[in-house]
């Protein structure tokens, strides 16, 4: 087994949620009469901790309005998150990895409360042995999430792979000395992901599953 620890991002990697996040950011700006970012700018911040994401998406956001923006974002996102679906093949891929003996974990820009809600809705909780969230660690691309996960299981960086759909995921892996896989069906475009030199850029969950079967 080359990669004993397999760490997944959540939004845009396992859950088809990037579009919902973009819409929630834009609706929150409208609620507060702030400049509305275009789709590309709003998608770029997916994967960061929520406060960091909103500050990057809306550079003119007054500091005193940050909490109101967070509350409006949560209102809009949570009003529809129960309808979001896992990408096709995610459950089967994770079950196969678990059965093969890999340690599975999540490193996400979500809050702990948000990830627990997502675990409950998706039914994936039993498949993951650990997780780290942006409100209990430094936000990506800081390597703390991966460092803590590797330390928890005593697994080296050489035996760990990070799988994500954004440059924030890939930079976190680089900063932690960990290999990465990029998926192109989430938030960031293919060419942008290639700039960060992942082991591969994969275009579907099926391709991710096949790559892991062949190389992990």
Q: What is the CATH number of the domain that holds 35?
A: 1.10.150
Is 0.85 topped by the overall pTM?
A: yes
How many domains is the chain built from? 2
CATH number at residue 106: 3.40.50.1000
CA distance 139 to 106: 14
The residues annotated as belonging to the active site are: 9, 11
Q: Which domain holds residue 205?
A: 5-16+86-215
Q: What are phi and psi of 149, to 5 degrees?
A: -65, -45
Are 166 and 183 spatial neighbours (Cβ–Cβ below 8 Å)? no
Are 4 and 102 spatial neighbours (Cβ–Cβ below 8 Å)? yes
CA distance 164 to 41: 18
195 and 113 share one domain: yes
Could you say which of 82, 112, 135 is where a domain stops?
82
pLDDT tens, residue by residue, 152-199: 999 999 999 999 999 999 999 999 999 999 999 998 888 889 999 999
Q: What is the pLDDT of residue 187?
A: 87
Q: What is the pLDDT of residue 177?
A: 98
Q: What is the pLDDT of residue 192?
A: 86
76 and 141 share one domain: no
112 and 144 share one domain: yes
Q: Which is more confidently placed, 83 or 124?
A: 124
CA distance 189 to 119: 27
**What percent of the chain stands above pLDDT 90?**
89
134 and 211 share one domain: yes
Q: What is the pLDDT of residue 99?
A: 97
Q: What is the pLDDT of residue 189?
A: 85
116 and 189 share one domain: yes
Q: What is the pLDDT of residue 75?
A: 95
């Amino acid at each position: 087994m080359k990669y004993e620890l397999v760490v997944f991002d959540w939004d845009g990697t396992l859950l088809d949620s990037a579009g919902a996040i973009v819409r929630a950011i834009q609706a929150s700006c409208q609620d507060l009469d702030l400049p509305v970012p275009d789709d590309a700018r709003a998608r770029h911040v997916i994967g960061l901790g929520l406060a960091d994401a909103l500050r990057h998406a809306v550079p003119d956001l007054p500091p005193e309005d940050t909490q109101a923006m967070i509350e409006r974002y949560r209102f809009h996102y949570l009003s529809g998150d129960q309808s979001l679906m896992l990408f096709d093949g995610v459950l089967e891929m994770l079950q196969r990895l678990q059965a093969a003996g890999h340690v599975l974990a999540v490193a996400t820009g979500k809050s702990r409360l948000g990830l627990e809600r997502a675990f409950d809705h998706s039914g994936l909780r039993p498949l993951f042995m650990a997780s780290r969230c942006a409100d209990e660690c430094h936000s990506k691309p800081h390597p703390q999430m991966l460092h803590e996960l590797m330390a928890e299981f005593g697994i080296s960086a050489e035996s760990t792979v990070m799988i994500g759909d954004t440059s924030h995921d890939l930079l976190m892996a680089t900063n932690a000395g960990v290999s990465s896989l990029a998926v192109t069906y989430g938030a960031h475009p293919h060419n942008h992901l290639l700039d960060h030199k992942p082991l591969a850029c994969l275009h579907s969950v099926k391709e991710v599953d096949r790559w892991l079967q062949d190389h992990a």
